[in-house]
A and B are shown apart, each in its own frame.
Chain A
Amino acid sequence: DSGVTQTPKHLITATGQRVTLRCSPRSGDLSVYWYQQSLDQGLQFLIHYYNGEERAKGNILERFSAQQFPDLHSELNLSSLELGDSALYFCASSVDVGGLTEAFFGQGTRLTVV
């Protein structure tokens, strides 16, 4: 158990809908990263939050947004969903910024858009 909790584990929704994925980092970790794993794109970095502030964006679509709350949990919001958004979405947390420490991943949320 990595200590990173993601909910829900599975999500099935229709095109055009909006969903929210939730991530609780390990106790004490200030950094939260979101990644998308799809068959065609592999593991892609989406966005990074550190202590409530957005630190960096990767290949995140404009239809997607995220935030990190004062209790350090994070939510990834996906809207106007398309079939191509079907993927495994991972959250990772680390104590501080960057590669200075290990990044521990949650079990992922498998999103299926039908």
Chain B
Amino acid sequence: AQKVTQAQTEISVVEKEDVTLDCVYETRDTTYYLFWYKQPPSGELVFLIRRNSFDEQNEISGRYSWNFQKSTSSFNFTITASQVVDSAVYFCALTLQTGANNLFFGTGTRLTVIP
């Protein structure tokens, strides 16, 4: 069975601090895809990144970076120099190449950036 665990329920940081959101996943499949989505207070789900299981290169996009480590089944997300606009709930998700192809979501981490 597939499972995504986001152990951090809520995190608060002061603006300009760096913050890392943890994501640990479980699957027996060798081909899978990992995602991060942002859900701001307005409620929509905003796609941030997709990673396939064969690409362990870390990725940086502006203040965002992602660290994918298959050895620890983790796909962590770091925001550098956090801003108030980063305040949101962040979801990590997993999908497989086979089967229902739906997204398995973690329970989310609520990030509050304090000005």
**Residues of A that sit less than 8 Å from B by CB:** 2, 31, 33, 35, 42-45, 48, 55-58, 88, 90, 92, 97-108, 110
Docked-complex contact A98 and B37, CB < 8 angstroms: no
CA distance A10 to B104 in the complex (A): 25
Task: Verify if B66 is at the interface (C-beta below 8 Å from A).
Answer: no
Most buried by B among A44, A97, A99, A105: A99
**Additional A-B contacts beyond A98-B98, A106-B44 (16; CB < 8 A):** A42-B108, A43-B93, A43-B108, A45-B100, A48-B100, A55-B100, A55-B101, A56-B99, A56-B101, A99-B101, A103-B103, A104-B47, A105-B46, A107-B42, A107-B43, A108-B43
CA distance A22 to B98 in the complex (A): 27
Task: Verify if B81 is at the interface (C-beta below 8 Å from A).
Answer: no
Given contacts A42-B107, A105-B37, contact A98 B101 (CB under 8 A): yes
Q: Which residues on B sit within 8 Å (CB–CB) of A98? A: 33, 95-98, 101
Docked-complex contact A48 and B101, CB < 8 angstroms: yes
CA distance A110 to B43 in the complex (A): 9
CA distance A20 to B45 in the complex (A): 21
CA distance A98 to B96 in the complex (A): 7
Docked-complex contact A99 and B100, CB < 8 angstroms: no
Docked-complex contact A105 and B105, CB < 8 angstroms: no
CA distance A104 to B48 in the complex (A): 10
Q: Which of B71-103 contact A (CB under 8 A)?
A: 91, 93, 95-103
Q: Which residue of B lies closest to A101 (CB)?
A: B50
Q: Which residue of A lies closest to B51 (CB)?
A: A99
Docked-complex contact B103 and A45, CB < 8 angstroms: yes
Q: Which residues on A sit within 8 Å (CB–CB) of B98? A: 98
CA distance A103 to B85 in the complex (A): 23
